[in-house]
Structure 1
Amino acid sequence: MSKVVTFGEVMLRLATPDRLRFGQAGSFTATFGGGEANVAVSLANYGLPVEFVTRVPKNDIADSCLRELRKYGVGTSHVVYGGERLGIYFLETGAVARPSKVVYDRAHSSVSEIAPGMVDWEKALQDASWFHWTGITPAISQGAADACLEAIRTANRLGIPVSTDLNYRKNLWKYGKTAAEVMPALVEGCDLILGNEEDAEKVFGIKPEGFDAASTGGRVDGARFESVCRQLTARFPRAKRVVITLRGAVNADHNTWSGVLWNGRELLQAPTYDITDIVDRVGGGDSFMGGLIYGLLAYGDDRRALNFAVAASALKHTIYGDFNLVTVAEVENLMKGDGSGRVVR
């Protein structure tokens, strides 16, 4: 069975309850999450063996986090210990015209102080069929970027496919380097590149002509992104697939959701889902990535993998927390057109 390895930071998530604003909240709901950990949980739920690699402190909070990951079937045997704190992010969930807000508290976290040589990547990637990372990791620190590059080059040498979610976060690039300076060397080693409608522009200056994310009216034309995909594959020829998620924001509670995949021959577009009454959109892109990796490994068909990814992510918007806790059967049921939400008895 295909084994997937992911690498990145996992954090304590503290969210205001009942959509309260930060200034109103007298308590926070504590869970855990982080891009690559979220992908790992998705894949474990789909029945794939998966290992999550990170660096955490040796304390009770980190132990609770790792137990939570193991509860969902994620392997943690290659996690390394060191440093003094787990990163934290605070979430204020928006409603209607009020957007959600995230405040990071992750300076000097254990993984931000990671360095090459701390992880034995030969062992961590042994028997792996896939390696995944996101652009959040190299944004944390130079050490995290260097360790990520070390992992990518090891995977390349071992012949393991590598995927990335560009995941540009402007508030994280604070250590003196820009994404444009750091990301190209890492993306050069990737076989699959995922981004949203803005990532390629923010990181590489590549954007679709005539597209304005603020004026989509909740509908995003996937055909406009073929030029973006072509430009990315021209710049990073190792990448055989480029995938763009398409989010049309009507408001904080109502989005449309789809995606396109360019495989060098044709641009495939998935069905568009109309997602109303969103429960939690955090981790939506990660749930897409988890679904895409599973679909490519399980089906070996680009179109079916893309459709699985979009359906899986549409379901994630109905689930509280970072993790997408759905099964293959549930995703495939939605792919067949059953979005009624009727009680299953």
Structure 2
Amino acid sequence: MQNKVLAFGEIMLRLSPPYFKRFSQATSFDVTFGGGEANVAVSLSNFGIPVDYVTRLPNNDIGDACIRYLKQFGVNTNKILRGGERIGIYFLENGASARPSKVIYDRAHSAISNAKPEMFNWELLLEDVNWFHWTGITPAISQNLADICLDAIEVAKSKGITISCDLNYRSKLWKYGKNPSDIMPELVKDCDIAIGNEEDADKVLGIKAPDTDISSGILDPEKYEYVVKEMHKKYPNLKTTAITLRGSISASHNTWAAILYNNQKLFISPHYDITHIVDRVGGGDSFVAGLIYGFLNFNEDYQGQLMILLIKF
């Protein structure tokens, strides 16, 4: 069977003041669409990997525009459910110099957040794929979506489909009375691959790198060896764990590195200095897509995978 990936989650309308203006200065907004899982789907399609995207969108002109957006990148949208009243929105104020970016969510009662488990026939949706990708954003939205994620994971596991999860902690979500520690362990335990950034394992799974200060903007990859090893002890089904380490010097100047742990071996990427950043949103999603691409194309050469995905990022 040809490699095919299915990504599941919420795609939103993204509204940003142009020219690095602040929200308080905005008189218009640039419009596009985005979401963690959708970003991965688009990147994989750009890399030549067949990919399905599953979500729920309202049956109106905005939902149609969102589907057209995905189609222009070659993402298969035939499995998207239609219904509900609205699409989720996020407002993005792009950072500049020492001013960080700012995000405001308007996603309550979106079509996907009001979805129910019985709407998704995962036996059918996963019929022709061999990789399922989800993120910790989705179960953070509602209990129903946490249940839908669990249903998808259980079916994927029964079919022998590779399951990847980007832990993706979002402090502005998890508003329905549950903490990540109440939900995420049950979802992560059947995953084959887990990906996170410098704070996800701490916030989501309670595993923290020793002697680290994220606020310093300087991150030592070797300190995160403890994190990936503890994740594998706690979740023995995991075959591979990857951690991205992004230091922030300014809104337009970041550092970037990554580690990958597999078969009791640790691989560390080079340290990259990235300047003149125009839009940093989705950088982690690009990393995930590169990692999936690497696994689908480079067999056992994990250091090679890490190099390839960082080049693609």
TM value normalised by structure 1: 0.89
Find the counterpart in structure 1 of residue 146 from structure 2.
Answer: 145
Match of 2:292 in 1: 293
Give, as a single letter, the amino acid of the residue that structure 2 aligns with 1:189. Answer: D
Distance 2:266 2:179 in 1: 30
> Would you say how many aligned residue pairs link Structure 1 and Structure 2?
311
Runs of 4 or more, structure 1, over 3 Å off, are none
Please name the residue that 2:240 is paired with. 241
SS at match of 1:102: strand
Give the distance between the partners of 1:222 and 1:114, measured in 2 at CA.
39
* Partner Cα separation in structure 2 for residue 3 and residue 119 of structure 1: 19
Partner deviation per Cα, 1:47-77 (whole Å, 9 max, x = no partner)? 1110000011100001100111011000011
**Amino acid across the alignment from 1:143:** N
CA–CA distance in 2 between the matches of 1:264 and 1:207?
21
Aligned to 2:210: 209
Question: Percent sequence identity over matched residues?
Answer: 56
Distance in structure 2 (CA, Å) of the matches to 1:49 and 1:117 = 26
Who is 2:85 aligned against? Answer: 84
Equivalent residues in 2 for 1:1-345, closer than 5 Å: 1-216=2-217, 219-300=218-299, 301-313=301-313
* Deviation of 1:266 (Å): 1.2
Q: Could you give the per-residue CA deviations for residues 137-168 of structure 1, whole angstroms, max 9, x where no partner exists? A: 00010111111110010000000010000000
TM-score, scaled to structure 2: 0.98
Q: Using the alignment, how far apart are the partners of 1:127 and 1:22 within structure 2? A: 44
Separation (CA, whole Å) in 2 of partners of 1:70 and 1:263: 35
Q: Tell me the residue number matched to 1:333.
A: none
Aligned residues of 1:16 and 1:91 also touching (Cα < 8 A) = yes
> Does the residue aligned with 1:117 lie in a helix, a strand or coil?
helix
Contact 1:83 1:109 in 2 (8 A): yes
Q: C-alpha separation between the residues in 2 aligned to 1:136 and 1:91?
A: 17
Alpha-carbon distance in structure 2 between the residues aligned to 1:141 and 1:242: 26
Write the distance in 2 (CA, Å) between the matches of 1:142 and 1:204.
18
Can you give the 5+ residue segments of structure 1 that lack an aligned partner in the other structure?
A: 314-345
The residue type equivalent to 1:75 in the other structure is: N
Aligned to 1:318: none
Alpha-carbon deviations, 1:250-295, whole Å to 9, x = none? 1111001110001032110112211101011100110100010001
- After superposing the two structures, state which structure 1 stretch, 37-46 or 110-119, moved more: 110-119
Q: How many angstroms apart in 2 are the aligned matches of 1:2 and 1:225?
A: 31
**Aligned partners of 1:36 and 1:286 also within 8 Å:** yes
Task: Please report how far the alpha carbon of residue 248 of structure 1 lies from its aligned counterpart in structure 2 after TM superposition.
Answer: 1.2
The CA deviation at 1:38 is 0.4
Partner of 1:327: none
Report the alpha carbon displacement of residue 310 of structure 1 after superposing the two structures with TM.
Answer: 2.1
By how many angstroms is 1:35 displaced?
0.5
**Is contact 1:78–1:119 with CA below 8 Å preserved after alignment?**
no
SS of aligned partner of 1:23: helix
Using the alignment, how far apart are the partners of 2:206 and 2:198 within structure 1? 12
Q: Distance in 2 between matches of 1:141 and 1:310?
A: 33
Shift of 1:120: 1.4
Task: Single out whichever of 297-306 and 81-90 deviates more from structure 2.
Answer: 297-306
- Distance in 2 separating the partners of 1:128 and 1:174: 32
**Superposition deviation, residue 235 in structure 1:** 0.8
Distance in 2 (CA, whole Å) between partners of 1:207 and 1:48 is 34
What are the Cα deviations for residues 189-248 of structure 1, in whole angstroms up to 9, with x where unaligned?
Answer: 1000000010011112111110001124xx421111010001111111111111000101
- Shift of the alpha carbon at 1:13? 0.3
Provide the C-alpha distance between the structure 2 equivalents of 1:22 and 1:232, rounded to a whole number of angstroms. 39
1: distance between equivalents of 2:177 and 2:220?
A: 36
Q: CA deviation at 1:127?
A: 2.2
Deviations 1:14-57 (A, max 9, x none): 01101000010100000000000000000000111100000111
**Equivalent pair of 1:129/1:161 in contact (CA under 8 Å):** yes
Deviation at 1:305, TM superposition (A): 1.5
Rounded Cα–Cα distance in structure 2 between residues aligned with 1:104 and 1:203: 20
What 5-or-longer segments of structure 2 have no aligned partner?
Answer: none
Q: What SS does the corresponding residue of 2:6 show, helix, strand or coil?
A: strand
